[in-house]
Structure 1
Amino acid sequence: MTDRPECEGTHLRHADTAGIAMPAPTPKPTSRDDQMESAAGVWTGDSTQVGVWECGPGEFTADRRGNTEVCHIISGSGTVVGDDGVSAEIGPGSLLVLPKGWCGTWTVRETIRKSYVTIV
Structure 2
Amino acid sequence: MTHTYNPTAIDAADLEAKLLAPPSAEPLSGEIMTRSKVEFANDGRTVISGTWESDPGTSRWEFLTRAEIIHLLSGAMTVQRDGEEAVELRPGSVAYFPLGWTGVWTVTEPVRKFYVVYK
Aligned residue type for 1:76: G
Residue pair 1:31, 1:60 contacting (<8 A) in 2 also:
yes
Query: What is the alpha-carbon distance in structure 2 between the residues aligned to residue 23 and residue 115 of structure 1?
Result: 13
Task: Tell me the alpha carbon deviations over residues 18-65 of structure 1, each in whole angstroms, 9 at most, x when there is no partner.
Answer: 121342421111212211011111100131001110000010111111
What is the TM-score with the length of structure 2 in the denominator? 0.87
Q: After superposition, where does 1:64-103 map in structure 2 within 5 Å?
A: 64-103=63-102
TM-score of the aligned structures, taking structure 1 as reference length = 0.86
Q: CA deviation at 1:87?
A: 2.3
The one-letter amino acid of 2:8's match is A
Distance in 2 separating the partners of 1:84 and 1:117:
25
Instruction: Name the Cα RMSD after superposition.
Output: 1.1
Query: Is the Cα–Cα contact under 8 Å of residues 14 and 42 in structure 1 kept in the other structure?
Result: no
Offset of residue 15 of structure 1: 1.5
2:118 is the counterpart of 1:119 = yes
Letter in 2 for 1:63: E
What runs of 5+ residues in structure 1 fail to find an aligned partner? Answer: 1-10
Partner-residue secondary structure (3-state), 1:25: strand
Alignment of 1:1-120 (within 5 A): 11-21=1-11, 22-29=14-21, 30-32=26-28, 33-45=30-42, 46=44, 47-120=46-119
Partners of 2:82 and 2:9 in 1: CA distance: 33
* Identity in percent: 27
Q: Is the 8 A contact 1:78 1:107 kept in 2?
A: yes
Residues in 1 aligned to 2:69 and 2:83: alpha-carbon distance in whole angstroms: 19
2:36 is aligned with what amino acid? A
Question: Which is higher, the Rg of structure 1 or of structure 2?
Answer: 1
Report the number of matched residues: 110
Q: How far apart, in 2, do the equivalents of 1:44 and 1:13 lie? A: 11
